[in-house]
């Protein structure tokens, strides 16, 4: 059985319950994932506490995307903002809800936050003709 | 061709045309209809019976509206003035143009009126680079409209053009066959709608904007209301009223709404190319404008918190807690050819966000917002210690992690040569510039105040106060250059002092990190012959190897920089020095007809007599617009103290009597008065 990355992601959210970056905030989102057979994930954030269900309920924001892109997004390989600008992600309803939600998505794999120092001599060598 | 460009805008939508209203963009000619960082029209040319028109006059009625009076022909001799054409153009989500053709003859005339339209859908970043596009274009004429479209994979942008009068649409534009009665008039309204053609929410946003066409008259009233709501200024020195009015009007034009908060406004960085959120620019402008309008600050705080970093992303240089540098919506951003989705490469926006939060509360008493933003504030304060400590010595430092498209210098002086040793050598990376440490100190002190008074987290307050005191002690030891009696502009990667003398030391006074015993020496440098030009403080001192009076960050005078330096001087009790800087900058503002440029030359005042404007494509610039506002605050010595506003004027003599009436704040409304007593002529006659 192949890994279901999307189910794992939402299960992880539900498990955390309180998500610090959502502190004090409330919103609901529904993700309609897939082209033919659409699966629904309903995320409800109530003052920072997250609950996830598979119900097709109304929400502040309804987000539609295909499965491969959804998998890329929940594993940090696709950035939500660029997906929105590119039209790979469509949202109906509250942009603010989507903006809040994207904060819980992981960063791109391979980003370390670190970089080797550069000496003054090296910087000067860039600038010499 | 008409070389004079006319620009009108609303939010991040703007139209740049020639003085006849036509658009003929070329790679070197940045005209067009732009929205969300994309050019939606690169060609828009009106002809009557195949003839181009020439302008008799152009009225910039408001920042969002222009009127063009035209006649057919080349315009050298008005032999054919039997017709006149009036275009009235207003920006909304795209633009709206009222086209009127007047027949001055006793006979009816048959005319073909045609508009050629096309779009290259260039990303704002591409406009000057003329990069080849990777997607496909189409033009779809229909009976009632023409849709121009660009598509690259799922990325779609559309321009739709329609008219109220019957027209024939083809792939290259639209045409009207009309008969205008004798001494009569023919009229149509043209609608050009820019659409991102993607998300439903955005589409609805566009529909909302279309509806705004109808209530567009409200914009004029909106501007009027904005001006009426601002405190009233009275002054013996007449130019000050004009400068003040110019600043308020420009600030209105610079208002920008994000997609998530369409009904609130924050200051964008500059007009027209920087009509977007910039962390640093939006925060500093909000600080400058706080005594006059606190809504800009509230929206800036909320919009930046909403996009605060939460993960490690090397391409965008995002970290948890980091406040963004710049947000863009164009194609290059969408396809990750640029990192602005958003880009986080700024080392000062994060502590400055905390500074703004506290200053906002001091003026407004809006503890509700401060409580709402507690988590964001704590994340920002954590960023300083956890993610910005790149040299391992407890100082904020920066080094880009995106070597292709990231910024080398992540402080306000972001050009490549701005941070240099006295001898002109450039330091390695990471770099810890001095003003960043000042901002960090101030953020901790102010964070402690909020923790104590609003969040009631005494442990946090104690810790932040301890850290601030420790930072101040170490900073005054590590950055101080004993033989020069000033602070190094930075510490390099080896902890060595980068020893040029720069305006950055003025920001240190503003932050409060300067030891009292060292303040006098710093003030003396700021008003001394190497830094002070007579108009203002230079970014870099005369005598340093890279000094150049027209060097962007290595000698030019920046009005915004000076406004914060003046604030810093007041903070340490240097009243006359602060008044002298206000004098120089306000006199320059008068010469620039109230609109200060981003920067002007650092030549000594006695040499050029007039300030020499630094060539820049962007005007008005938000923080230059805010500079006179902050200087008003500084001159009157306005400072909130609990529920009161302290007024302690120290102003140039020639200002005479100055009053700011109905200053809003936690005291509701209050009046502030002052009279000029400081002789600033000697300092500014340099």
Q: Residues of B with CB below 8 A from A95's CB?
A: 201-202, 259-260
pLDDT reported for residue B299: 97
Cα separation of B639 and B398, whole Å?
A: 33
Q: Is the pLDDT of residue B632 over 60?
A: yes
A60: domain CATH number is 3.30.1050.10
B217: three-class secondary structure by DSSP: helix
User: Would you call A81 and B342 a contact, using CB atoms and an 8 Å cutoff?
Assistant: yes
Cα separation of B316 and B299, whole Å?
A: 23
Which of B379, B357, B353 has its CA nearest to residue B368?
Answer: B357
List the beta strands (DSSP E) in B63-184: 65-72, 83-92, 94-103, 109-118, 136-141, 146-152, 155-163, 168-170, 173-180
Q: Is the pLDDT of residue B657 over 90?
A: yes
Which of A86, A94, A115 is closest, CB to CB, to B155? A86
Put simply, whether A122 touches B (Cβ < 8 Å) is yes
Q: Residues of A with CB below 8 A from B202's CB?
A: 95
Cα separation of B184 and B193, whole Å?
A: 30
Chain B's closest residue to A124, CA to CA, is B426
Q: Residues of A with CB below 8 A from B308's CB?
A: 103
Percent of chain B scored above 70 by pLDDT? 94
Cα separation of B110 and B179, whole Å?
A: 4
Please give, rounded to a whole number of angstroms, the shortest distance from the CA of A53 to a CA of chain B.
23
Query: B292: which 2 tokens?
Result: 């006059």
Chains A, B: CB contacts within 8 A come to 129
List the beta strands (DSSP E) in B350-473: 432-433
Q: Is the dihedral of CA B73, B77, B80, B86 positive or negative?
A: positive
* Burial of B296 per CB tally in 10 Å (0-12, 13-18, 19+): buried
Interface of A with B in 98-117 (CB under 8 A): 98-100, 103-108, 110-115, 117
Of B205 and B85, more confident: B85
User: Would you call A115 and B425 a contact, using CB atoms and an 8 Å cutoff?
Assistant: no
pLDDT band for position B641 (50/70/90)? Answer: very high
Which of A85, A68, A86, A89 has its CA nearest to residue A77?
Answer: A68
Q: Residues of B with CB below 8 A from A85's CB?
A: 155, 196, 198, 329, 333-334, 341
Put simply, whether A23 touches B (Cβ < 8 Å) is yes
pLDDT reported for residue A127: 77
User: Would you call B428 and A96 a contact, using CB atoms and an 8 Å cutoff?
Assistant: no
Q: Is the pLDDT of residue B26 over 80?
A: no
Q: Is the pLDDT of residue B547 over 70?
A: yes
pLDDT reported for residue B218: 55
Using the structure block, give the residue that is written with the tokens 């800087």: B581
Which of B196, B307, B428 is closest, CB to CB, to A122? B428
Q: Is the pLDDT of residue B200 over 60?
A: no
pLDDT reported for residue B614: 82
Mutate which: B334, B400, B404, vs A, most A CBs within 10 A: B334
Task: Collect all residues with Cβ–Cβ distance below 8 Å to A12 and sequence separation of at least 6.
Answer: none
pLDDT band for position B617 (50/70/90)? Answer: low
Give the CATH number of domain B230-684: 1.50.10.10
pLDDT per position in chain A (129 positions), as tens? 578 999 999 999 999 999 999 999 999 999 999 988 999 999 999 999 999 999 999 999 999 999 999 999 999 999 999 999 999 999 999 999 999 999 999 999 999 999 999 999 999 998 765
Query: Total structural domains in chain A?
Result: 1
Q: Residues of B with CB below 8 A from A89's CB?
A: 199
* pLDDT tens digits, B480-523: 999 999 999 999 989 999 999 999 999 999 999 999 999 999 99
Mean pLDDT score of chain B: 92
Which of A20, A86, A98 is closest, CB to CB, to B335? A86
Q: Is the pLDDT of residue B2 over 50?
A: no
Q: Residues of A with CB below 8 A from B374's CB?
A: 23-24
B580-595: average pLDDT: 97
- Give the global pTM: 0.94
User: Would you call A111 and B313 a contact, using CB atoms and an 8 Å cutoff?
Assistant: yes
B677-686: average pLDDT: 92
Question: Roughly how many angstroms between the first and final C-alpha of chain B, as a whole number?
Answer: 43
Which of B310, B374, B427 is closest, CB to CB, to A21? B310
Task: Collect all residues with Cβ–Cβ distance below 8 Å to B545 and sequence separation of at least 6.
Answer: B420, B421, B422, B423, B424
User: Would you call B311 and A105 a contact, using CB atoms and an 8 Å cutoff?
Assistant: yes
Which of A23, A89, A117 is closest, CB to CB, to B429? A117
Helix H or strand E segment including A27 = strand A27-33
pLDDT reported for residue B213: 42
Give span(s): CATH 2.70.98.40, chain B: 5-218
Cα separation of B69 and B575, whole Å?
A: 52
* pLDDT tens digits, B89-131: 999 889 999 999 999 999 999 999 999 999 999 998 887 666 6
B539: three-class secondary structure by DSSP: coil
Which of A86, A91, A117 is closest, CB to CB, to B334? A86
Put simply, whether A128 touches B (Cβ < 8 Å) is no
Give span(s): CATH 1.50.10.10, chain B: 230-684
Cα separation of B620 and B612, whole Å?
A: 16
Q: Residues of A with CB below 8 A from B155's CB?
A: 85-87
Mutate which: A120, A121, A124, vs B, most B CBs within 10 A: A120
Q: Is the pLDDT of residue B1 over 70?
A: no
pLDDT band for position B80 (50/70/90)? Answer: low
Residue A52's domain comprises: 5-127
B622: three-class secondary structure by DSSP: helix
Q: Is the dihedral of CA B376, B645, B243, B569 positive or negative?
A: negative
**Contact in structure between A104 and A12 (CB atoms under 8 Å):** no
Q: What ipTM goes with this model?
A: 0.96
Architecture of domain B5-218: Distorted Sandwich (2.70)
Of B203 and B433, more confident: B433
Range of weakest confidence among B182-186, B250-254, B676-680: B250-254
């Amino acid at each position: 059985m192949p890994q279901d990355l999307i189910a794992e992601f939402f299960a992880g959210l539900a498990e955390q319950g309180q998500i610090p970056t959502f502190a004090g905030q409330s919103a609901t989102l529904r993700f309609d994932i897939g082209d033919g057979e659409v699966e629904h994930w309903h995320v409800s954030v109530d003052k920072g506490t997250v609950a996830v269900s598979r119900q097709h309920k109304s929400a502040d924001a309804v987000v539609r995307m295909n499965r491969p892109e959804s998998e890329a997004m929940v594993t940090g390989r696709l950035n939500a903002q660029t997906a929105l600008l590119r039209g790979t992600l469509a949202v109906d309803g509250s942009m603010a809800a989507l903006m809040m939600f994207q904060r819980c998505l992981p960063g791109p794999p391979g980003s370390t936050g670190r970089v080797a120092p550069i000496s003054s001599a090296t910087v000067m060598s860039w600038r010499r003709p | 061709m008409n070389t004079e460009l006319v620009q009108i805008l609303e939010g991040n939508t703007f139209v740049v045309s020639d003085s006849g209203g036509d658009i003929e963009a070329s790679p070197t000619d940045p005209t067009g209809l732009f929205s969300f960082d994309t050019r939606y029209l690169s060609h828009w040319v009106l002809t009557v019976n195949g003839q181009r028109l020439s302008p008799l006059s152009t009225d910039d009625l408001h920042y969002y509206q222009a009127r063009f009076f035209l006649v057919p022909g080349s315009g050298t001799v008005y032999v054919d003035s039997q017709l006149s054409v009036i275009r009235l153009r207003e920006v909304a989500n795209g633009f709206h143009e009222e086209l009127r053709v007047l027949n001055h003859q006793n006979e009816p005339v048959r005319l073909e009126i045609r508009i050629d339209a096309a779009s290259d859908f260039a990303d704002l970043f591409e406009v000057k680079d003329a990069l080849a596009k990777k997607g496909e274009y189409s033009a779809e004429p229909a009976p009632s409209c023409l849709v121009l479209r660009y598509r690259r994979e799922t990325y779609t942008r559309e321009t739709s053009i329609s008219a109220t009068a019957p027209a024939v649409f083809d792939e290259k534009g639209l045409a009207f066959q009309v008969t205008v009665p004798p001494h009569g008039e023919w009229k149509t309204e043209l609608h050009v709608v820019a659409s991102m053609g993607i998300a439903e929410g955005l589409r609805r946003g566009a529909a909302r904007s279309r509806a705004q066409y109808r209530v567009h008259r409200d914009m004029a009233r909106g501007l009027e209301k904005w001006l009426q709501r601002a405190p009233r200024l009275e002054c013996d020195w007449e130019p000050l009223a004009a400068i003040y009015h110019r600043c308020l009007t420009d600030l209105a034009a610079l208002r920008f709404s994000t997609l998530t908060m369409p009904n609130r406004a924050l200051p964008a960085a500059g007009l027209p190319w920087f009509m977007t959120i910039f962390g640093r620019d939006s925060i500093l402008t909000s600080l400058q404008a706080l005594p006059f309008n606190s809504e800009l600050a509230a929206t800036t705080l909320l919009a930046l918190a909403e996009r605060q970093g939460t993960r490690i992303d090397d391409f965008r240089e995002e970290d948890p807690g980091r406040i963004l540098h710049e947000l863009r919506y164009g194609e290059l951003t969408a396809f990750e050819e640029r990192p602005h989705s958003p880009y986080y490469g700024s080392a000062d926006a994060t502590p400055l966000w905390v500074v703004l939060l506290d200053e906002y509360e001091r003026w407004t008493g809006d503890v509700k917002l401060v409580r709402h933003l507690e988590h964001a504030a704590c994340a920002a304060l954590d960023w300083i210690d956890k993610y910005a400590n790149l040299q391992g010595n407890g100082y904020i430092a920066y080094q880009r992690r995106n070597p292709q498209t990231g910024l080398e210098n992540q402080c306000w002086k972001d050009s490549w040569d701005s941070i240099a040793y006295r001898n002109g050598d450039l330091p390695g990376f990471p770099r810890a510039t001095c003003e960043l440490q000042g901002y960090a100190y101030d953020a901790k002190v102010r964070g402690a105040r909020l923790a104590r008074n609003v969040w009631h987290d005494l442990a946090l307050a104690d810790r932040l106060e301890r850290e601030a005191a420790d930072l101040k002690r170490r900073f005054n030891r590590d950055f101080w250059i004993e033989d020069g009696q000033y602070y190094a502009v930075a510490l390099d990667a080896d902890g060595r002092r980068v020893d040029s003398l720069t305006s950055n030391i003025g920001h240190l006074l503003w932050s409060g990190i300067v030891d009292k015993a060292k303040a006098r020496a710093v003030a003396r440098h700021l008003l001394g012959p190497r830094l002070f030009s007579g108009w203002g403080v230079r970014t870099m001192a005369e005598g340093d190897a890279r000094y150049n009076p027209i060097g962007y960050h290595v000698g030019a005078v920046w009005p915004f920089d000076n406004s914060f330096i003046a604030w810093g001087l007041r903070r340490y009790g240097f009243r006359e020095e602060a008044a002298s800087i206000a004098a120089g900058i306000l006199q320059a503002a008068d010469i620039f007809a109230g609109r200060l440029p981003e920067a002007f030359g650092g030549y000594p005042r006695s040499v050029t007599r007039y300030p020499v404007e630094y060539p820049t494509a962007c005007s008005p610039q938000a923080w230059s617009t805010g500079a006179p506002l902050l200087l008003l605050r500084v001159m009157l010595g306005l400072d909130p103290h609990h529920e009161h506003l302290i007024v302690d004027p120290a102003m140039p003599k020639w200002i005479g009597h100055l009053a700011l009436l109905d200053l809003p704040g936690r005291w509701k409304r209050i009046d502030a008065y002052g009279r000029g007593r400081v002789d600033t002529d000697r300092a500014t006659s340099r």
